[in-house]
Structure formats: structure tokens, C-alpha cells
Structure 1
């Protein structure tokens, strides 16, 4: 068994230990119009919460009522593991675990989408015509207003580092971030930031000195922030934060001014999809102007379609934040994040830096 396989299994074990809520096999089902047959089914596996994906599925099914649609919500690592065990089970996979999705496509598990929408899709947001970025989601910080009132605004990674170094006692145990050893997203952000910022490891050390709590999901971090157990959250998924914190005025969402990673959910059609025509219809809708319009209007996920402007779109966010936005590149570099030796090296250094100041 490879180190990657061991890590995936360890992540799934930790999810099982977390309790029933973490493992809930959440589903949405839409019946086909009378007279439909088995060929008119559509099975989607997504690492996307039901309330986020429901507007898209509602709209698609209104336009395509002939399909009996079944959406299954899974964690990123569980989705990947399930696909490897049953590659002919789902028609479409949607996940924010970009390296794992890229590996599936690179290893020949995806089939191409040959439609005008696929040919027009931005080159930076697709790989060949087999893997499509469909959302544009900044990675953010969340800061309690009490911190801002006492210590000033936190607008950047540099501000956060300075805050932790000056006020580590005041914030001890009150900061939360991803544990990159158990979170695919957290690991991806760690390796990207280690490339982007020469001061990243100083920040990891400062988080360790402040005895930051380590979490496996953005939802877990948001719960602690809402309950007041944490005052600062680092590297949360912005789409989830904006929705959950809409009625929490004491919590401020910060898109860092110096640089902000942007993750994208990647969609593909498995080569062995049991209902290939339904899969093509859905993926074409997802990257089309209509489907992307639903994402922009009815979700916090961020639409990529180049013809869409205004709130809820990548174009609007780029105008607001400019060069500070750093989308994670969809390309062969993602495979490096899954290299066993590089992975172990990064996690070893992360643990070493996180505990360095604690050992003094």
C-alpha cells in the first residue's frame, strides 16, 4: 500500500471516528417524468453540500425532467476512494480536491466533452476537454470583531503573522486552521502557500506557538468561530464562510490583500459512466451560461463563465482583488502534491515548524 493510500484510509478512519454526522450519506433524488427508462438516469457524486448544490440541480431537472437524478454528497477523500473501488457507479464527479481529480483524469479515467461550451471554456479552467473548473472560491480568513477592536485590522497574511507574534498569549488556543495531515484541502493549501510566500513557515510556527486548533473541514472551523471558541480562523473556504456567517455580524470575512489562494471545484465524466448521454447533458449545462448563471445568482460558489458579470462571478472578484488572487493552477503541477516523498517531506516540515516554538 502506498503512502497516499495509507493517508486516504487514515483520513476516512478519522471521519468515521468523528461520528455519524461526518459520515452521513446525504442524497438528493429527483424522479423522472412518467415513462422514463433506466437509460434516463443520472448519478452525480459531489463534495458539495446539499444546500449549495440544490439550486443547480433544481434548475437542471426543471429543464431536463426526463432524467431520474440522484446526487450523493461525500467528503473529498471519500469520493475519491469510492470512485477507485467502483469506477462505473457515477456519471459525474465534482470535487474541490484538485490534485485527486487531476490524477483521475491524467490516469485515463475521464472521457472528453465535445460540445461548443467545452471548446469555449477558458483554457486556464480546463485540462484538455476532460476536466473542467466550474467554480471560483477564494480561501479566506475569519476574524472576530473583538480582535479588530483590541488589536486593529487584519488585512493580510503579514498582518496575521504580526498579530500572532505580538498577541500570542491573548490568542492562545483561540485560533483555528486546517490540519494538512487529515484534510486534502488543507494539504493542498499548505503546499501552494509554501511555494507562494517566503514567510509561510514563519506563519506556521506562529500558529503553533499560539497553540492553534487543527480541524479537518471548513464547517468544523466555522462552528467553533460561531460558538466563540475561536477568535481567528485561517484558510477557510470562502464560499462556505459567506453563507454560514451571513447572520453573524461579529465575524468578519477577510480576503487577504497580499495574496489569496483560489480553489476551484473540478468536474469530470468517468470513462465508465453508466449513463454517458445524461452525463454529457449535465456537464454541458454546468459549464454553460445557464448553469453558471444559477451558480452566480443562487449560490456562493462563484461562476467562471466569461460572459457573466456582476456579483457572484470570477470577473467581479478579479476586478475587486486584481493580482492578489492566486488561482491554484490546473495542470501537471498538481500531481507533485500527491508524490509520496514530497508529501511526507512537506508534512514533516509542517509538523516541525508548528511545534518549533513550543519546544523552547
Structure 2
């Protein structure tokens, strides 16, 4: 399951994109208000012995190592505020974790050579397979757990750092219609035969994240009975890419006219930067909300610092920083704050009928393989 599988209608789109980005980069989005941080202080509902975790962290050398697919721009305010709260943590290393990251961690655990404290990724299947290995995750119940929505705990010992919508992007210089759903994109393609052939991008279905979002949209989208049919109309027009960043970059350049099931963590930002050239849409026929799972690795070298970090991510302070970083916070209490994105505001924007909170359910391996084979079969050769 973890093996890696595998211009344009108008001349000058690249030049236009570059010019627009140059202009847009000179302007910045409205700054979110400061995040008040209580240095070395925790809420009164934390256990009385929590101070032992704080003192234990101080003895761990001021380091923290994370395996993650989260971009540095998303992490920046989180790391800033965590280090403000616990100033002795001077070094936080966020290593990029691809499909091979799970097996690497399992090998480290088996050989008592673990170098990673936490994993933060958005793959339901990947998390399930990893967590099934004895000792892969440290057992830890956050004192924040009882103050969060039920869906916050994705799996035992795995909590949602954010709940991020998967959307659709399109190049407005290539597609002049207003698209509000994946069905709109499929209808546009049908009304303009050949125009979008090979000009649509989707995530590679054999990677953990790609499988998760594709399967969830087609199989766990109960209010849209046409989901699978729409998906199967789009795949023959599509080429697969391995990251949302690559997808958006190629939509911006005009290599692709549109892409779907793309993370909002990059979608919102690139729409703002592009000066209107790229449009990011939350699909009316199914906006997936995918938990960005965070769990402490078994035998983590800095276990107390890892506990502090996980609890911070789930706290009001941490969720405020998560939202400032462009991810979607879900904890009550920060909605309506300028410049922040929250689950509550998302529901107001697209409505309950369009929301699909992706369950962290394990899909049988035979079904995974059958789905991936069908996905590959529908892509153009």
C-alpha cells in the first residue's frame, strides 16, 4: 500500500501568472491579532502532576523532531507560539514524511533507534496500518481530550491537529465559467469536448493520502449518490501528481486547467497570491474534511516535550496558532477571528449537506488494491 505508483489553451498564461504573483507578493493578507500565550502555565483542568511532564521536558535537551507532510508556512505560527510557551525548546525539526515514512519509523522502533517524537499526517489508511503495529504509538490521553469535539480523537492515541477541507482549483484564464462542484467541472468538460483532456490533475491514488481522499469522496460521501459517477468522468481527463503543491503550481502555470481533492492548506494561500488567476472552491457536492492526525511515536527520544506539543496543538492557544498557519482549527472559541479559518465558519459557508468528515476507518487490503487498480485503469495511458 505504501509503494509509490507511478499546455494550454491560451498563450502567455505563464507570463500572466508570474506577473500576478509578483504584484500579489507585495501585498499581505490581513494579520491575525496576537495570540496571548500563558508562559509555562496550563489550564486548571490539567492533572495536578502535569508539572512533572513540564520538568521532564526541561531535561530533554530542548529538542523536538516531527515527521510530517505539513508545510513550513503552516507550522511557523505553531512553532513560534509553542516555543514562546515553553522557551527551553529551542530546536524543532519537522522532517518531510512521504509514503515511506511509516516503514522507516517502524524499523527505528524495532531496532531501538527512534529519532522521531511525533508523526503528523493526513492518511486514514496509513495511520491505521501504522497504529496496528505493537509499540508504534505511545499511549497517551491528552488532558484536552474532554474539551474537544468527539471527532478530535481519530484513533486511540491519535488526535486531529486540524480538520482541513479538500477542494478544487481552476485557472480562470482557461476556464471562464464559475465552478462550484466537481460535477460542474465534469459538465464543463462534456460541453467543451477535448478541451480538458489531460488538463486536469488528481492526487496519485496509490499513495496513502491520494487513496484516502479519493476513496472518501466516492465511498463516504453519503449525501451525493452521484459521487462515484462524477469521479469516473473526471479521471479519464486527469493526470496524477504526488502533492498538492505540484498540482497548484501546474494549474497556476497553465499546464493544467483544474485540479480536485487539493488541500486547503495550500489552496487558500495560492488563491490569495495569484491575484484571481487561481480559484479555490469548496465543492458543493462534497467537501471532505480530513483530520491531520498527530500521535507520539513509541520510544520517542523526547517523550515529555512531545506530550507538551501534542497538548498545545489541541489547546485554545494551539488551535489559534493552527488557524493562523492557514489550517482549519475545529475547537470552539476562536471562530469569527479575523484572518483565521475554523470548522465552525466552514460549516456556515458551505452548509452541513456539503460537509463530509472523513472517518478514520480501516479499508480491507483487497478492497484497497481493487480501488487503486480501478483508479489507474481510468487514468489516460
Q: Is the 8 A contact 2:171 2:252 kept in 1?
A: no
Aligned-partner Cα distance in 1 for 2:367–2:84: 46
Shift of 1:286: 0.8
What displacement does 1:287 show? 0.5
Partner residue, 1:45: 67
CA distance in 2, matches of 1:256, 1:353: 22
> Within 5 Å, which residues of 2 pair with 1:186-197?
186-195=210-219, 196=221, 197=224
The answer to whether structure 1 residue 346 and structure 2 residue 376 are counterparts is no
Residue aligned with 1:136, SS: strand
TM-score by length of 1: 0.81
SS of equivalent residue, structure 1 residue 112: coil
5+ unaligned residues in a row in structure 2: which ranges?
7-57
2:164 pairs with one of 117, 125, 137: 137
> Do 2:217 and 2:286's aligned partners in 1 also have CA atoms closer than 8 Å?
no
Cα distance in structure 2, aligned partners of 1:190 and 1:55: 30
Please list, as runs of the form range in 1=range in 2, the aligned pairs for 1:293-304 lying within 5 A after superposition: 293-296=320-323, 298-304=324-330
1:180–1:187 CA contact under 8 A, matched in 2: yes
Q: Measured at CA, do residues 65 and 185 of structure 1 come closer, stay the same or move farther in structure 2, by a change above 3 Å?
A: same
Q: Which residue of 1 aligns with 2:180?
A: 155
**Which structure carries more relative contact order (alpha carbon 8 Å, separation 6+)?**
2
Match for residue 278 of structure 1 among 305, 328, 334: 305
Gaps of 5+ in 1: 15-35
Deviation at 1:209, TM superposition (A): 4.1
Flag the 1:38–1:258 CA change in 2: closer, same or farther, 3 A.
closer
Q: 1:326 is matched with which residue?
A: 356
The aligned residue for residue 140 of structure 2 is 113
Q: CA deviation at 1:280?
A: 1.0
Aligned to 1:184: 208
Please give the root-mean-square deviation of Cα atoms over the aligned residues, in Å: 2.2
1:102-251 alignment runs, 5 A limit? 102-108=128-134, 109-127=136-154, 130-149=157-176, 152-181=177-206, 183-195=207-219, 196=221, 197-210=224-237, 212-248=238-274, 249-251=276-278
Give distance in 2, aligned partners of 1:233 and 1:114: 38
Give the superposition deviation at 1:155: 1.0
Structure 2 residue corresponding to 1:86, chosen from 105, 108, 133: 108
> TM-score of the superposition, structure 2-length normalised?
0.77
Q: Give the number of equivalent residue pairs.
A: 317
Relative to structure 1, is the Cα distance of residues 104 and 121 closer, same or farther in structure 2, using a 3 angstrom cutoff?
farther
Q: Deviations over 1:51-104 (max 9, x none)?
A: 211211111112112224332321341332321121332111111123212333
Aligned residue for 2:312, secondary structure, equals helix
Deviation of 1:208 after TM superposition, in Å, equals 4.4
CA distance in 2, matches of 1:101, 1:120: 23
Deviation at 1:252, TM superposition (A): 1.0
Q: State the Cα distance separating 1:128 from its structure 2 match.
A: 6.0
Q: Provide closer, same or farther for how the CA distance between residues 91 and 105 of structure 1 changes in structure 2, counting only shifts above 3 A.
A: same
In structure 2, what is the Cα distance between the partners aligned to 1:111 and 1:96? 19
Q: 1:245 to 1:78 in 2, by over 3 A?
A: farther
Closer, same or farther: CA 209–115 of 1 in aligned 2, 3 Å: closer
**Contact residue 135 and residue 304 of structure 1 kept, 8 A:** yes
Determine the structure 2 residue equivalent to 1:17.
none
The 3 A distance-change label for structure 1 pair 168 and 198 is farther
Q: 2:280 aligns with which of 244, 253, 272?
A: 253
